[in-house]
Amino acid sequence: MTTDAEPRVGATNPAAASTDTAHPAGTDVRLAASHVSLAYANARVVHDLSLEVPPGAFTAIVGPNGCGKSTLLRALARLHKPQVGTVTLDGADIHTLHTRDVAREVGLLPQSPHAPAGITVRDLIARGRTPHLGPFSAWSQADADAVAEAIAATGLAGLAERSVDSLSGGQRQRAWIALALAQQTGMLLLDEPTTFLDIAHQYEVLDLVHRLAQTGRTVVAVLHDLAQAARYADHVVLMSAGLVVAAGPPAEVLTAGRVGAAFGLRVTIVPDPVTGTPLIVPTSAPGGADLTPNDPLERTR
């Protein structure tokens, strides 16, 4: 989980309107957002945000509900057009590129994917080859190989002929990730891949995603669990109210002050006993009073 980057961490005060970028040295940044503002039906969600996605690393975007992290991810995936600013892929405005070309470079696991009833795992993954197939192209050996590799990488070999509906939550997410892998893209974006999964499946998916990042892919995931982000990501982007508060390695970004300010909760950071990465522990109850170690079950009146 190390990166050879020398991140510079910027604004420590979330109230400031500044944004921050991290520049890993020596590698090419391919996907970036430059001064983007994103809105839903005239309600602005993200303000003047600039971000460069560190290549070959696992970046986690975290932040409280409504901070714009999913919106940002969708903008990076070319699903959401910025009101202001540009998202660039290899230097070109992503919206001027053909969707098929973008689909060959950027894969996405959407938030609530919908599998057609009765589809088998293999058929679902095969649809990931769509950007490489024109309307009349025949299925080739290269396509079959891509699907086979995706199945192997996600450990779904024994389940390939089963219906997606009959899989567990974790297996289903792996199937969707396999679909994105079959696309053979250099970059993978995941929108809340662990939602609604139980703890074992969450870690199953995160392990897989981490492994993919280690093979050289650029992975960006929106996560809601800070400890998981700290444990698996090389690079964390903390957002709050449509702004990037801080970006860099987990230990530097996830400080008690920043997390507390972003989430409105007093916390203390302790090292994970297994991995040493930051664990977030609340020290205040919602009412605002402090909890002390002596009375862990004390609640405010």
Partner 1 sequence: MTRLLSRWEPLPPQAREVCVLALRPRTALIITVVALLAAVAASLAFGAKSISLATVWDAIVAPQSDNPNHAIVRTLRADRTLIGVAAGAALAVAGALAQSLTRNPLADPGLLGLNAGAALAIVVGAVFAGVNTVVPQVALALLGAVVAGVLVYGVGRGNGPEAPIRLALAGAAVTALLTALTTAIVLYDQTALNVLRFWLAGSLTGRAGIPIVPLVVAIAVLLVSVSVVVRPLEAVALGDDAAAALGIHVTRTRTLVMALVVALAALATALAGPIAFVGLAVPHVMRAVAGPRIGWLLALCAPAGAAVMLAADVVGRLVARPGEVSVGIATALGGGVVLAVLARRLRVVAL
Partner 2 sequence: MRGAVTRGGGARPIQRGTRRRLHRATLTALVLSAVLLASVVTSLAVGQVDLPLPQVLKAAVGVPSDGADFIVGQLRAPRAYTAALVGALLGVAGALLQSVARNPLASPDLLGVTAGGSAAAVASIALTRSVDSFSIAPWAVAGSLATAALITVLGWRGGIQPMRMVLAGIGVGFVATSITTYMLTKLPERVVGSAYLWTVGSTNARVWRHVVVAAIAAAVVVPIAAWYQRRLRVMEMGDDMAAALGVNVVRVRVGAVAVSGVAAGLATAVTGPIGFVALVAPAIARTLSGRGGIVVGASALMGACVTSVADLIAREALAPTQLPIGLLTAAIGAPYLLVLLARMRN
For residues 153 and 151, give the distance between their C-alpha atoms in angstroms, rounded to a whole number. Answer: 6
The option from partner 1, partner 2, none interacting with 43 (CB < 5 to 8 A, set by class) reads: none
| Three-class SS state of 273 | coil
Site membership for partner 1, residue 183 (CB under 8 A): yes
- Can you tell me which residue has the tokens 């940044």? 29
Nearer to partner 1, 121 or 226 (CB): 121
Q: Closest separation between CB of residue 110 and partner 1, Å?
A: 4
Count of positions on this chain that bind partner 1 (CB under 8 A) = 39
Nearer to partner 2, 186 or 282 (CB): 282
For residues 236 and 100, give the distance between their C-alpha atoms in angstroms, rounded to a whole number. Answer: 29
Output Rg (C-alpha) for the chain, integer angstroms.
20
Site membership for partner 2, residue 288 (CB under 8 A): yes
For residues 264 and 284, give the distance between their C-alpha atoms in angstroms, rounded to a whole number. Answer: 10
For residues 82 and 43, give the distance between their C-alpha atoms in angstroms, rounded to a whole number. Answer: 13
Strands 84-89 and 31-40: antiparallel
H or E, element range at 182: helix 169-182
Interface with partner 2 (CB under 8 A), residue from 134, 273, 287, 293: 287
- For residue 191, the one-letter residue type is D
Site for partner 1 in 72-131 (CB under 8 A): 74, 77-79, 98-104, 106-108, 110-119, 123-124, 127-128, 130-131
Cα three-residue angle 93-94-96, rounded to 5 degrees: 70
Residue 4 exposed, middle or buried by CB count within 10 Å (0-12, 13-18, 19+): exposed
The option from partner 1, partner 2, none interacting with 300 (CB < 5 to 8 A, set by class) reads: partner 2
| Three-class SS state of 68 | coil
Bridge partners of residue 280, in order along the sequence = 269
The option from partner 2, partner 1, none interacting with 220 (CB < 5 to 8 A, set by class) reads: none
Binding mask 31-70 for partner 2 (x = CB under 8 A): ----------x-----------------------------
Nearer to partner 1, 85 or 107 (CB): 107
Residues of this chain that bind partner 2 (CB under 8 A)? 41, 285, 287-289, 298-301
Residues of this chain that bind partner 1 (CB under 8 A)? 74, 77-79, 98-104, 106-108, 110-119, 123-124, 127-128, 130-131, 133, 135-136, 163, 165-166, 179-180, 183
